[in-house]
A and B are shown apart, each in its own frame.
Chain A
Amino acid sequence: MMTDYLLEVKNLRKWFEIRKGFLAKPLYVKAVDGVTFELDRGEAVSLVGESGSGKTTLGKTILRLYEPTDGKMIFDGKDITHLDAKNILWYRRQTGLVQQDPFGALPPHMTIYRILEEPLIIHGFKNRHERREMIYRALEEVRLTPIEDFAPKYPHMLSGGQMQRVAIARALILRPKLIIADEPVSMLDASVRIEILTLLRDLQEKYKISFIYITHDLATTRYFSEWIYIMYAGHIVERAPTRRLLDNPLHPYTKALLAAIPDPDPENRKRYREVPPGEPPSLVNPPPGCRFAPRCPYATEKCNKEPPEVEVEKNHWVKCWLFT
């Protein structure tokens, strides 16, 4: 069967070695441990998980900032699991990254103009006028206007929201096919968050860029993605179209996560929230089988074996024995 996914990820693993095995057994942090999904062209996915769930590692492995330990990734019909230097450069042009901390992501000694010019130079845009045009267009797209005012500025002269706009302009300037934004607004204020997310979403839709939005903030996913993937301890435990997942969460972990998040409602103060006991497991020595089993109210004997991913209803996948 012909598929036309932009990205296919198959059983991807990224383990970090923390103790070399010579006489003793080597130890690994299994940050991403068997992840499979497909990403359509122009589609926006929210990758949601708590800290330490492996969501950032997954993002960085997809961008090939990390070398995968095992598994396979197909991007635009091409195997990108292992790439040589020439192909890495090609792949970098297809992808863009917006990081959490704009203060750290922009070099402090470069002007905004220079920051945006850098990727153009690296990717061989030799004509200075062409570069200038591209930079101006990029700044206009992220609404850093008047452009003449912003281009010569240094990052420290900008507010957090403005810096994040520069980071977005930089990620988009080469018209990549895939953008990964890792907590792009978690350091910004509430009202600015919506502004930046709206901007990202508009540009992503305009240029039909596939978009992976990594976040711990489930409330924003409703507004900015078509799909939600829920990660827990290195696994994707549930994935479904946004509304379906929010309206009908199936995995016990997803249910617990949703129940923990308040909506603005004065009734909240009069009730207690149901919270699962315990904490996420260590990724060095995770529980055998389902990673959530030790905290799960429905856990049975069976959960000591790794559950398969089941398509419970169309497009709604759950990695849990309850649905087999």
Chain B
Amino acid sequence: MSDQLVLSVKNLKLYYRTRKGIVKAVDNVSFDLKRGETIAIVGESGCGKSSMAKAVIRLLPRNVHLYEGEVYLDGEDIMKYDEEKFRKEIRWSKISMVFQGAQNSLNPVLKIGYQVAEPLILHEGLDKEEAIERSKKALKLVGIHEAFTERYPFELSGGMKQRVVIAMALITEPEIVILDEPTSALDVITQANIMNMLKELKSRMNLSYIFITHDIALASELADKVAVMYAGEIVEIASAEVFYHKPRHPYAQKLMASVPTLRTDKKLEFIPGTPPSLIDPPKGCRFNPRCPFATEKCRSESPPVIGLEEGHYVKCWLFGEK
């Protein structure tokens, strides 16, 4: 890991339009990512973590109501790029993504080699033979023998398919790979296998990962730092050491307390109540209805993002205006 900033997201917003109203899926989210660094985005389903990823790689549905903010890649604001330029220069060339459940989205009638090579044909204009040669290299990188370029998805196990999908994300040698629940639906041993591979690729290729997961224990397999999302906002960002040992935001603390551990005993807790609607989130701090420390202020005013130390930010009134 170097100190070189590769991605800087500032005040990113992504709102959707639905029949019930405007869904504030991503609401003023900011974070930085260095070269070779992994940020894990954790949170419960519906907290906006997948939307955040889609906003970064700009894969948006049609019902977007608002999409704004700044996203600096190597110092340049790529939010200013038009769709054509973004598609040509950014998406898949510099930022790629492994989608949730993607191992089941491989095209059943195309050979593995061609499917892995496709990004090169589309994004770098290579001809088919050349691209398939490169796909052999990418497959080798993820531990699949080049003979598999000639096979079809049904001939592969779930873990191997997941490796293929990761090869597709790596073949263009991107700077950033977004991993959206890359091992969901895989068995634990296969999952450990994929995690080992992601670790190795990260150090070998100096990749930066945005690792999206609801599994807090699994996040620690890759995360250098952790961002906790709640109801469309990041409520805490901290280094892995700080987050896993001493999270500060009440929601982050509760979330940690709900994680069962295999090797040690602890008192398991759950968070009473349910996450709020993103259409009409609570006034003030969005966690206030479930927070044991909520005060009058929390119910009326949204808390600012407060820096506790270098790289550790908490969006909570408990830490400000003392």
Contacts and interface: CB of A to CB of B under 8 A. Distances in A.
Interface of A: 50-51, 159, 161, 189-195, 198, 216-220, 222-223, 246, 256-266, 268-269, 272-273, 275-276, 279
B244 A275 contact: no
Given A262-B217, A268-B221, 4 more contacts: A189-B214, A256-B189, A263-B220, A269-B221
B305 interface: no
Interface in B98-127: none
A310 to B, nearest CB: 24
A51 B185 CA distance: 9
B172 to A, nearest CB: 25
Contacts of B63: none
A269 B34 CA distance: 16
A266 B218 CA distance: 10
Interface in B24-43: 38
Interface stretch (B51-59, B252-260, B292-300): B252-260
- Please classify the interface of chain A as helix (H, G, I), strand (E, B), loop, or mixed, using the class held by over half of its residues: helix
B262 A192 contact: no
Interface stretch (B4-12, B84-92, B265-273): B265-273
B274 interface: yes
Given A189-B44, A190-B259, A266 B223 contact: yes
A228 to B, nearest CB: 11
B196 A192 contact: no
Contacts, number: 121
A159 B274 contact: yes
A223 B189 contact: no
Nearest to A192: B270
Contacts of B244: 264-266
Contacts of B264: 263
Contacts of B258: 190-191, 193-194
A190 B268 contact: no
B217 A264 contact: yes
Contact of A223 (B199, B245, B260): B260
B176 to A, nearest CB: 17
Interface residues of B, number: 50
B270 A198 contact: yes
B220 A191 contact: no
Interface in B131-184: 157, 159
B259 to A, nearest CB: 5
A260 B256 CA distance: 20
Nearest to A259: B192
Contacts of B219: 264
B220 A261 contact: no
A262 B263 contact: no
A262 B243 CA distance: 16
Interface string B206-233: 0000000011111111111000000000
Contacts of A218: 188, 262
A143 to B, nearest CB: 10
The 7 closest A-B pairs by CB, nearest first: A266-B240, A260-B192, A195-B270, A50-B187, A189-B44, A219-B260, A194-B270
A20 B160 CA distance: 31
B262 A190 contact: no
B302 interface: no
B18 interface: no
6 contacts: A190-B44, A190-B214, A190-B216, A222-B262, A246-B263, A275-B189
A80 B254 CA distance: 45
A275 B214 contact: no
A258 B220 contact: no
Nearest to B191: A260
B224 A262 contact: no
Given A190-B259, A194-B270, A269 B189 contact: no
B262 A216 contact: no
A198 B270 CA distance: 9
Contacts of B199: 269, 272
Nearest to A266: B240
Contacts of B195: 262, 273
